[in-house]
Amino acid sequence: MARLGADPEELERLAHRLHDAAGRLTSLGTGVGARLRRSPWHGPDAEAFRSRWQHHLAPALRDGAAGCRRAARDLHRHAAEQRRAAAGPARRTGPIRPGAARRRTPPHLPRRIEVIGARLDGGYLLGAGGLGTTATVEHLGGGRLRVTVSDARAAGVQVGAGRSAGVSTPDAGAASGGSAAAAARLESADSRTWTIDRHHLPLLLAMAGLRQGFGWAPLGYVVTDAARLAGRSFGDGPLPGPHPDRTERLRGVGLAAALAAGGGGTSATAAGSMSLLAGTAEGAGGTSAVVRWSESGELLLGRRLAAAAGFDAPAARAELHVGVEVPTGHGADRRPIEVALETTTGDLRTVRRTWVDPAEAPRLAAALRRSVELLAAGDVGGAERQLAGTAAAVAAARTTVDHFRVGRSGLAIPVTAGAGSATPSFQRLHLRRTTG
């Protein structure tokens, strides 16, 4: 019997090959660029070649890698459409046109995401600071992973009073004593992202740790080159190097407040924070300007107090993250503006992503200004509806909505004594998509 439409398995296999090709092109470009920067080659010929590499050859490799990734995403989408059509109640009687129903809809987020992070916040007298590192692993399917390593720093001023010691987990918390503190800080967040094969994850994390400790020192390159040679036996996929697929550098301001009171099962702790960061992102597709707004709040009650107050659970939390990425530089008019809106309540997370044509930028800017005004007035729900509604109205055909179930584990130990405070914390999140 003749087959109607394409074979989804073949489409998936071709998509994985294109992903591998994109990784190899990216790895080749970053490797050659790094060696050119370190090379002792000087003179007119060297300068001419470096100029040609920077303005012609490297952009051509980046464009080729971006084209392979776009084609792979299209093939993944077409394969999903073929499966949905084959499983539907009414089968088609003619060839299926890939992309006919959702030709311009971008792919959904990964089905599973793992996040591991550690952070230390503290202060003394009027000074406050914090630092942390987070590793995020997104499972793309077919043995492919997207790994992001983020480093966060903060420094500023704080005011506080009281003495308390506590411990908290995602499900409960307990404190002894009473304290209150508030801080205003300058913040930075730098991240690097790689797309790799699953069996390269330990190697990538090891090299990311070396890069964190040694920067661009020669030892980092020696270890990287040795790892590349040793890694040839791991498979044919591209090995991770010191240069990521995407880098993001953000700077901004943040506010944080915390309150603890009580003792044992009758204690209560509350914490809240907000931040506004802006900066740039660089990747295979080009450069972008990035703005991110975040808010979070958490309330932890002792079990006896939670039962007395009639709460279903001793822990309650909510988060809001808004991100806007606007293409800049070469080819910016051909790349869409991306708006991401994440809301988390309890163990449910909703991620809405919208891609907007650059011609609609003025309308989007007006909606963003209105959202900021609503947030400043304390109307978080109104800001969320304003942003989501406007973005959907601008480009309804290019909006995806994903829902995740969030599993949490971890530990935080806040201690406040007189003029000093410290909170070491560790967190692990497991997100599993429940839609799509």
What is the average pLDDT across 285-289? 85
> Who has greater pLDDT, 408 or 264?
408
Looking at residue 104, what is its pLDDT?
37
Looking at residue 118, what is its pLDDT?
92
- pTM (whole model) above 0.75: no
> Who has greater pLDDT, 388 or 311?
311
H or E element: which one contains 388? helix 380-394
Lowest average pLDDT, out of 77-86, 143-152, 418-427, goes to 77-86
**Confidence band of 388 (pLDDT split at 50, 70, 90):** low
Domain locations in the chain as residue ranges: 8-85, 112-235+244-433
Q: Which residues contact 149 (CB under 8 A, 6 or more apart)?
A: 133, 134, 135, 136, 191, 192, 205, 208, 212
Looking at residue 284, what is its pLDDT?
73
Looking at residue 152, what is its pLDDT?
92
Please check the confidence at residue 51 and state whether its pLDDT lies above 70.
Answer: yes
**Torsions phi, psi of 219, nearest 5?**
-60, -35
pLDDT in tens, 220-272: 444 444 444 444 433 334 444 556 788 999 999 999 999 988 876 688 888 99
Please check the confidence at residue 414 and state whether its pLDDT lies above 70.
Answer: yes
Looking at residue 84, what is its pLDDT?
59
What is the average pLDDT across 36-40? 76
Q: Are 367 and 391 in contact (CB under 8 A)?
A: yes
Cα separation of 246 and 290, whole Å?
13
Cα separation of 320 and 151, whole Å?
20
Which ranges of 231-352 does DSSP label H, i.e. alpha helix? 303-309
Share of the chain above pLDDT 90, in %: 23
Looking at residue 154, what is its pLDDT?
94
Looking at residue 384, what is its pLDDT?
66
Q: Which residues contact 339 (CB under 8 A, 6 or more apart)?
A: 322, 323, 324, 325, 353, 354, 355, 356, 364, 387, 391
pLDDT in tens, 171-194: 877 888 889 999 999 999 999 888
Looking at residue 130, what is its pLDDT?
92
Looking at residue 101, what is its pLDDT?
35
DSSP one-letter string for 82-141: HHHHHHSSS--SS---TTTTTTTPPPPPPSEEEEEEEEEEEEETTEEEEEEEEEEEEEEE
Cα separation of 118 and 74, whole Å?
36
Looking at residue 92, what is its pLDDT?
38
**Confidence band of 120 (pLDDT split at 50, 70, 90):** very high
Mean pLDDT of the chain: 76
> Who has greater pLDDT, 384 or 434?
434
Looking at residue 59, what is its pLDDT?
81
> Who has greater pLDDT, 364 or 354?
354
Looking at residue 197, what is its pLDDT?
82
Looking at residue 211, what is its pLDDT?
55
Looking at residue 174, what is its pLDDT?
80
- Among residues 305, 269, 316, the alpha carbon closest in space to that of 414 is found at 269
Lowest average pLDDT, out of 320-324, 355-359, 387-391, goes to 387-391
Q: Which residues contact 98 (CB under 8 A, 6 or more apart)?
A: 5, 6, 74, 77, 78, 81, 82
In one letter, which amino acid is 321? H
415 strand-pairing partners: 165, 422
Longest dimension (CA), the chain: 80
DSSP one-letter string for 157-212: EEEEEEEEEEEE-SS-EEEEEEEEEEEEEEEEEEEEEEEEEGGGHHHHHHHHHHHH
Looking at residue 233, what is its pLDDT?
37
pLDDT in tens, 143-157: 888 889 899 999 999
158 strand-pairing partners: 183
Looking at residue 224, what is its pLDDT?
45
**What CATH number does domain 8-85 carry, 1.10.357, 1.20.120, 1.10.287, 1.10.3470?**
1.10.287
Looking at residue 228, what is its pLDDT?
46
Task: Copy the structure tokens of residue 320.
Answer: 């809001």
What is the average pLDDT across 306-311? 74
What is the average pLDDT across 114-142? 90
**Confidence band of 203 (pLDDT split at 50, 70, 90):** confident
**Confidence band of 3 (pLDDT split at 50, 70, 90):** very low
What is the average pLDDT across 47-58? 80
